[in-house]
């Protein structure tokens, strides 16, 4: 009897030890860290509450270098039922908001200052859920990896994964999925399309709409250098430095460059105008973007080398003064050569922002048809 008791006690102790020693469930991309109810508004002063169920979410994702990180965002789900099966989910990638946490779309939506809610609302009116990422480092600790496309693509895909896993969202892993974005969001949408087959193959992605796409950031930076929108190029340098520490941007700057970029490191997009007219040569004694370390990372984040597996709607303003039309048309040509079903639309818009206004509703209607299962036609 004593022996049996000792054996039983030993087995119990071994079981306890094995449970204690067992590793905890590893965090997976798209896992929800936290989700709390929030309210979003269309107008400042907390006017015109958007009538949806809304959550501010923290979720796991992956950095540009493959390291795990935590990203914030907002999930919006219409309160009415969806009569056609599993409610579709749209990963909406916002355009440039800035570098500081106060610029995050989750903040601007809660304050009634988010201009892109006008487009998001068109999805909500169709009964679609919308997941809006803040991107890495915008609303969470660490610096925003602005324009590091691989990081941004991960953040978009994982926001959709997280949406499905938010308790009470009512969303299904069988839901049809679409992605849309313009400008920074266009690059993010493009990267989501390229990364999805390998990174998030379980998502039932039906189509991706990307507008005003800065597909080749080196070409865009050359275009912005010395011009009125140089602040966006400088911000991209800050973002890449955050994503890839080996770039060590600070070491290559002169005293003026360090002071200016330190000052800009937490600015929102409107504040970047103070860098207008400057050039990279004003900030550094070396040819920054043509150093091998920069060429490697810029090349790694250049869209077009991987063919998405879903139809693409690409749109670009003819008068885009920030992202040259040639950058967008080159991406179209590369996707077409790779066999991607591309619908390309050039818009009469005279500038970059107007391109978002003119092209947004076209992109939303195109995506809605893909979600409903209608075949896409290309114009390569």
254-301: per-residue pLDDT in tens? 999 999 999 999 999 999 999 999 999 999 999 999 999 999 999 999
Q: Is the pLDDT of residue 162 over 90?
A: yes
Residue pair 235/322 in contact by the 8 Å Cβ criterion = no
Residue 266's pLDDT is 96
Burial per residue of 211-240, b for 16 or more beta-carbon CB atoms within 10 angstroms, e otherwise: bbbbbbbebbbebbbebebbbbbbbbbbbb
| Percent of the chain whose predicted confidence (pLDDT) is above 70 | 93
Q: What is the pLDDT of residues 86-145, one digit of tens each?
A: 999 999 999 999 999 999 999 999 999 999 999 999 999 999 999 999 999 999 999 999
Enumerate residues 6+ apart whose C-beta is below 8 A from 82.
88, 127
Q: How confident is the model at residue 11 (pLDDT cuts 50, 70, 90)?
A: very low
The number of helix segments (H) and strand segments (E) in the chain equals 12, 11
Enumerate residues 6+ apart whose C-beta is below 8 A from 164.
30, 89, 171, 172, 173, 175
Q: Which CATH number fits domain 32-216+302-371: 3.40.50.1820, 3.40.50.1110, 3.90.1640.10, 3.40.1000.10?
A: 3.40.50.1820
Q: What is the pLDDT of residues 46-58, one digit of tens each?
A: 889 999 999 999 9
Backbone φ and ψ of 45, nearest 5°:
80, 15
Q: What is the pLDDT of residues 184-217, one digit of tens each?
A: 999 999 999 999 999 999 999 999 999 999 999 9
The rounded distance, in Å, linking the Cα atoms of 372 and 84 is: 9
The C-alpha torsion from 131 through 347 and 342 to 296, rounded to 10°, is: -70
Q: How far is C-alpha 89 from the chain's CA centre?
A: 15
The answer to whether domain 217-298 has CATH 1.10.260.130 is yes
Domain ranges of the chain: 32-216+302-371, 217-298
Residue 12's pLDDT is 35
Residue positions counted in the chain: 380
The rounded distance, in Å, linking the Cα atoms of 10 and 164 is: 43
pLDDT, mean over the chain = 93
Q: How confident is the model at residue 247 (pLDDT cuts 50, 70, 90)?
A: very high
Q: How far lies 348's CA from each of 316, 358, 365, in Å? A: 9, 8, 19
Enumerate residues 6+ apart whose C-beta is below 8 A from 312.
193, 207, 208, 209, 210, 335, 340, 341, 342, 343
DSSP reduced 3-state for 55? strand
């Amino acid at each position: 009897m004593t022996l049996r008791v000792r054996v039983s006690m030993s087995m119990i102790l071994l079981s306890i030890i094995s449970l204690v020693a067992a590793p905890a469930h590893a965090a997976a991309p798209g896992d929800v860290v936290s989700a709390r109810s929030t309210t979003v508004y269309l107008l400042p002063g907390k006017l015109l509450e958007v009538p949806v169920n809304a959550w501010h979410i923290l979720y796991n994702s992956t950095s540009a270098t493959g390291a795990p990180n935590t990203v914030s965002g907002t999930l919006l789900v219409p309160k009415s039922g969806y009569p056609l099966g599993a409610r579709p989910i749209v990963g909406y990638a916002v355009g440039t908001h800035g570098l500081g946490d106060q610029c995050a779309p989750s903040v601007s939506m809660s304050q009634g200052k988010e201009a892109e809610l006008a487009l998001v609302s068109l999805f909500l009116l169709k009964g679609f859920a919308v997941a809006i990422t803040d991107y890495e480092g915008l609303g969470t600790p660490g610096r925003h990896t602005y324009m590091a496309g691989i990081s941004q693509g991960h953040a978009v895909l994982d926001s959709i994964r997280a949406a499905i896993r938010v308790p009470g969202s009512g969303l299904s892993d069988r839901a049809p999925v679409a992605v849309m974005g313009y400008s920074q969001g266009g690059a993010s949408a493009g990267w989501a399309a390229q990364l999805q087959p390998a990174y998030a193959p379980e998502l039932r992605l039906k189509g991706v709409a990307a507008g005003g796409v800065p597909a080749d950031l080196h070409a865009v930076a050359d275009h912005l250098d010395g011009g009125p929108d140089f602040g966006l190029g400088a911000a991209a340098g800050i973002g890449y430095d955050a994503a890839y520490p080996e770039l060590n941007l600070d070491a290559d700057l002169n005293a003026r460059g360090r002071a200016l970029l330190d000052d800009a490191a937490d600015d929102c997009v409107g504040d970047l105008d103070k860098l207008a007219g400057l050039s990279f040569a004003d900030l550094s004694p070396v040819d920054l973007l043509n150093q091998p370390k920069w060429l490697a990372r810029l090349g790694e984040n250049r869209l077009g080398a991987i063919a998405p597996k879903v139809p693409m709607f690409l749109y670009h303003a003819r008068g885009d003064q920030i992202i040259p039309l040639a950058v967008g048309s080159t991406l179209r040509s590369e996707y077409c050569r790779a066999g991607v079903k591309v619908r390309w639309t050039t818009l009469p818009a005279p500038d970059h922002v107007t391109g978002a206004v003119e092209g947004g509703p076209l992109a939303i209607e195109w995506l809605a048809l893909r979600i409903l299962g209608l075949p896409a036609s290309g114009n390569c």
